[in-house]
């Protein structure tokens, strides 16, 4: 799967990667590792280890880590080093209230600017989600790709960049709290309804459905987080 953040680091016509493309690749790969919890909250982030793992020099790794720090995926502590950022549960409301405003707005733009090809591509993705036995981790990837189609159709790179970063944090939360318990069937149904409204050009309905979709995800995360926080501590005997 190729994310929007991945497109700009594709190799040139000569097949030689540029410094910028390597930094983009490093950013995309390290962020994926953080989202998938291969680098868990609190883990030490070492340039040398990532350089060896990704088979590239330290320069693009360093550039990627600087960007990840700006996006709040890693935290630099002076004289101690760099660590994978924790997710503060008290900031969940800020994350989802921002998405609940921006995602519907992007969907409105997409309704006006999107093409039949965009919605045909989204329909193909939705067909993939309906395959029996599709694992939840694959469904969340398909969920992201549906969002990416809408962002791309909106045609606003500043909006896309912000939504990409916000979704990545939501994706990380899904892997932390919901991967083993979430039923993605409702999310698939929600995307199907959004797709139908996009094809009909019903801007108001699209915005409402996207807002409900984001709020539904927010509610699932909140429920699981609250359950964990309220769980009684195991008492030693």
d(CA 108, CA 153): 10
Give me the helices (H) in the chain, please: 4-7, 19-35, 47-54, 58-70, 92-113, 116-129, 136-154, 157-173, 185-200, 203-230
The pLDDT value recorded for residue 18 is 52
| 63-112 pLDDT tens trace | 999 999 999 999 999 989 999 998 877 788 889 999 999 999 999 999 99
Which CATH number, 1.20.120.10, 1.10.10.10, 3.40.50.10330, 3.40.225.10, labels domain 4-84? 1.10.10.10
142-151, 156-165, 174-183: which range is least confident on average? 174-183
| 166-188 pLDDT tens trace | 999 999 988 888 877 667 778 88
- The distance from CA 3 to its chain's CA centroid, rounded to whole angstroms, is 9
Check whether 190 has a pLDDT greater than 70.
Answer: yes
Rounded to 5 degrees, φ, ψ at 75 are -125, 130
CATH fold of 89-230, please?
A: 1.20.120
Residue ranges per domain, the chain? 4-84, 89-230
- The distance from CA 113 to its chain's CA centroid, rounded to whole angstroms, is 23
């Amino acid at each position: 799967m190729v994310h929007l953040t991945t497109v700009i680091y594709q190799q040139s016509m000569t097949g030689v990667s540029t410094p910028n493309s390597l930094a983009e690749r490093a950013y995309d790969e390290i962020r994926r590792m953080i989202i998938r919890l291969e680098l868990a909250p609190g883990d030490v982030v070492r340039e040398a280890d990532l350089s060896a793992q990704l088979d590239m020099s330290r320069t693009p790794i360093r550039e990627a880590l600087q960007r990840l720090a700006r996006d709040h995926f890693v935290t630099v502590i002076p004289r101690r080093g760099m660590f994978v950022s924790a997710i503060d549960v008290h900031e969940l409301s800020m994350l989802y209230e921002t998405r609940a405003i921006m995602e519907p707005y992007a969907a409105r733009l997409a309704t006006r600017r999107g093409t039949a090809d965009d919605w045909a591509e989204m329909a193909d993705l939705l067909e993939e989600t309906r395959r029996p036995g599709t694992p939840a981790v694959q469904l969340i990837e398909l969920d992201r790709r549906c969002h990416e189609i809408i962002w791309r159709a909106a045609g606003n790179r500043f909006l896309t960049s912000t939504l990409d970063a916000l979704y990545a944090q939501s994706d990380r939360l899904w892997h932390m709290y919901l991967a083993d318990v979430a039923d993605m069937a409702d999310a698939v149904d929600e995307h199907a309804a959004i797709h139908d409204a996009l094809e009909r050009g019903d801007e108001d309905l699209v915005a409402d459905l996207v807002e409900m979709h984001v709020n539904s995800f927010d509610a699932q995360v909140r429920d699981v987080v609250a359950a964990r926080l309220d769980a009684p501590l195991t008492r030693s005997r």
